[in-house]
């Protein structure tokens, strides 16, 4: 299928000259290229050489170009041209601001108002796609591009399908098509009858990620993430430390409903709901309360796990202080009650840490795992050292 493309390569008999690679995805590389006839810069998405036509990739490519070309909307990337030589390619308008994935970087949230605006623009683009009977099926930050003025454009209709009889999400090799973190439950299940409400779920995930910097469902494998989409209740924004107000919480919760019938019926109504809420509450602009630490890493407990933990830690600190004072006093008779007190404070600490981890329904984040390990190790250490102290005190009092 031809040589690898790179800067200087030409396509369509010399009309398009590749200048630089902009990005790549599952089946294609995207380049900044020059349309030498119209003397303008374009984005050229070329199927990666060597992808087999048996798997239907060229046909998928053609479908993608035709799907995008049918949609003429400011929030959908425009298609200018397509071709086959030396590999199937699509020529699109060049979007200068990178993708939303670049903007979010490694877990960086965006201000709530900006997140609402971007989601609303994506929904406007999706409304047009859905009106054409197309479900995008891969809405995620990597497929939302940002124009120079900061507005969002939906890209990558590579796995878009007609809404009715959309077929399975599995390729012939059984690989899941789509991106597990953003997939709707019905997409995870491979249901043949998915419709635009599946894309609305993905917008809900994306909105959650824009606002909190985190995904609602995180796990080590794609299948584990899919399982969480099917079974786990979505966390609230507040539980991630973000005060976006009840109206925004309600939109995210409805978008992330497991049952499509519980979601917004279409992109336009979700968009209207997003534009409605002037997020409520205080005079303070909606946004981040401290960056993220308010979710108690070890707590699934309902009411006030923090205050319980705080009381426990205070007791432990007092015991440690007393321990130091007693040690200074060269192990006076106080040592026995102090050591016993420490033991009594350490055991529940250990118990609370371990059982909170065991009860957790959602997997812990990496930071959560580190905090849990430290808490368990510290409480374990307190119990161990005080047990040793008790034994030593007993042995010395019995003259051993
Ligand atoms: N029209 C465009 N203008 C600028 N960059 C683009 C354009 N289309 C795609 N890209 C870049 O290429 C990346 C992959 O493009 P995409 O269409 O999502 O390909 P794939 O189907 O391989 O995932 C995008 O995340 C973006 O960085
Ligand atoms: Mg993509």
Q: Measure the CA dihedral 110/43/92/179, to 10°.
A: -50
Ligand 1 centroid – CA 140 distance (Å)? 12
> Is 45 assigned a ligand-binding role in the annotation?
yes
- Give 176's DSSP letter: B
Are the C-beta atoms of 247 and 279 separated by less than 8 Å? yes
Q: What pLDDT is attached to residue 347?
A: 73
Using CA atoms, how far residue 147 sits from 42, 100, 113, 240, in Å, is 13, 10, 18, 29
CA distance 247 to 261: 20
Quote the pLDDT of residue 39. 95
Question: Which of 145, 154, 160 should be mutated for ligand 1, with most atoms under 8 A from CB?
Answer: 145
CA distance 141 to 101: 5
Q: What residues contact residue 295 under an 8 Å CB cut-off, 6+ apart?
A: 239, 240, 241
Asked about 259 being catalytic, the answer comes back as: no
Phi, psi of 29 (to 5 degrees): -115, 145
Nearest-CA residue for atom 5 of ligand 1: 95
Question: Using alpha carbons only, how large is the chain's radius of gyration in Å?
Answer: 28
What is the 24 CA–ligand 1 centroid distance (Å)? 6
Which atom of ligand 1 approaches the CA of 26 most closely? 22
> Contact 87/47 with Cβ under 8 angstroms?
yes
Q: Of 29, 138, 156, 195, which residue is the catalytic one?
A: 138
Q: Which ligand is nearest to the CA of 30?
A: 1
Structure tokens of 71? 């949609």
Q: Which residues line ligand 1 (CB under 6 A)?
A: 22-28, 30, 43, 45, 77, 92-95, 99, 142-143, 145, 155-156, 158
Closest ligand 1 atom, residue 145 Cα: 26
* pLDDT (0 to 100) of residue 291: 36
- Which of 20, 25, 144 should be mutated for ligand 1, with most atoms under 8 A from CB? 25
Output the pLDDT for position 165.
41
**CA 211 – ligand 2 centroid, Å:** 21
Instruction: Tell which atom from ligand 1 comes closest to the C-alpha of 96.
Output: 4
Where is 260: in which H helix or E strand? none
Contacts 24+ apart (CB under 8 A), 161-165: 161/134, 161/135, 161/137, 162/133, 162/134, 162/135, 163/130, 163/133, 163/134, 163/135, 163/194, 163/195, 163/196, 164/133, 164/193, 164/195, 165/192, 165/193
Nearest in space to 59 (alpha carbons), one of 82, 32, 77, 76: 82
Q: Take atom 27 of ligand 1 and give the residue whose Cα is closest.
A: 23
3-state secondary structure of 99: strand
Which ligand approaches the C-alpha of residue 156 most closely?
1
Report which protein residue has its CA nearest ligand 1's atom 9. Answer: 30
List the residue whose alpha carbon is closest to atom 23 of ligand 1. Answer: 25
**Per-residue tens of pLDDT for the chain, all 400 residues:** 445 888 999 999 899 999 999 988 778 899 999 999 999 999 999 988 777 666 778 888 888 888 889 899 999 999 999 998 888 899 999 999 999 999 998 788 999 999 999 999 999 999 999 999 999 999 999 999 999 999 999 998 877 776 544 333 334 334 456 789 999 999 999 988 899 999 999 999 999 999 999 999 999 889 999 999 999 999 999 999 999 999 999 999 999 999 999 999 999 999 999 987 554 433 334 433 333 333 333 322 233 344 455 666 677 777 777 776 766 666 666 666 666 776 666 777 677 666 666 655 445 566 667 777 777 777 777 777 777 776 776 777 776 6
Per-residue model confidence (pLDDT) at position 74: 96
Give the helix/strand (H/E) hosting 332: none
Between the CA of 142 and the centroid of ligand 2 the distance, in Å, is: 6
End-to-end, the C-alpha distance of the chain in Å comes to 85
Q: Is-contact 185 205, C-beta < 8 A?
A: no
Length of the chain: 400
Q: What atom in ligand 1 is closest to the CA of residue 101? A: 25
Which residues are CB-contacts of 47 (< 8 A; sequence separation ≥ 6)? 27, 28, 57, 58, 61, 87, 88, 89
């Amino acid at each position: 299928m031809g040589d690898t493309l790179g800067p200087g390569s030409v396509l369509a008999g010399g009309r398009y000259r590749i200048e630089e690679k902009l990005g790549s995805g599952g089946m294609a590389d995207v380049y900044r290229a020059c349309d030498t006839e119209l003397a303008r810069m374009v984005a050229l998405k070329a199927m990666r050489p060597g992808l087999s036509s048996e798997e239907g990739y060229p046909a998928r490519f053609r479908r993608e170009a035709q799907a995008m070309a049918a949609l003429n909307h400011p929030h959908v990337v425009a298609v200018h041209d397509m071709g086959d030589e030396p590999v199937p390619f699509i020529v699109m308008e060049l979007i200068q601001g990178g993708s939303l994935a670049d903007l979010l970087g490694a877990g960086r949230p965006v201000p709530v108002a900006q997140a609402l605006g971007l989601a609303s623009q994506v929904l406007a683009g999706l409304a047009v796609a859905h009106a054409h009977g197309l479900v995008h099926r891969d809405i995620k930050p990597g497929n939302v591009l940002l124009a120079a003025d900061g507005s969002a454009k939906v890209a990558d209709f590579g796995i878009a399908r007609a809404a009715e009889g959309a077929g399975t999400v599995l390729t012939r090799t059984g690989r899941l098509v789509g991106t597990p973190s953003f997939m709707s439950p019905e997409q995870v299940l491979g249901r043949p009858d998915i419709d635009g409400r599946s894309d609305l779920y993905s917008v809900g995930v994306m909105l959650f990620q824009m606002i909190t910097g985190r995904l609602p469902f995180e796990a080590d494998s794609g299948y584990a993430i899919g399982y969480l989409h099917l079974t786990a209740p979505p966390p609230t924004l507040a539980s991630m430390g973000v005060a976006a107000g009840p109206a925004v919480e309600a939109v995210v919760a409805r978008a992330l409903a497991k049952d499509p019938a519980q979601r917004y019926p279409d992109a336009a109504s979700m968009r209207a709901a997003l534009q409605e809420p002037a997020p409520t509450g205080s005079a303070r602009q909606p946004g981040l309360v401290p960056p993220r630490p308010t979710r108690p890493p070890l707590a699934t407990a309902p009411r006030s796990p923090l205050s319980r933990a705080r009381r426990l830690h205070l007791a432990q600190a007092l015991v440690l202080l007393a321990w130091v004072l007693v040690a200074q006093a060269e192990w006076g008779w106080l040592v026995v009650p102090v050591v016993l007190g420490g033991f009594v404070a350490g055991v529940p600490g250990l118990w609370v840490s371990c059982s909170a981890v065991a009860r957790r329904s959602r997997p812990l984040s990496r930071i959560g795992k580190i905090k849990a390990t430290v808490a368990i190790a510290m409480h374990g250490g307190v119990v161990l050292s005080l047990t040793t102290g008790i034994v030593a005190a007993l042995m010395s009092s019995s003259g051993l």
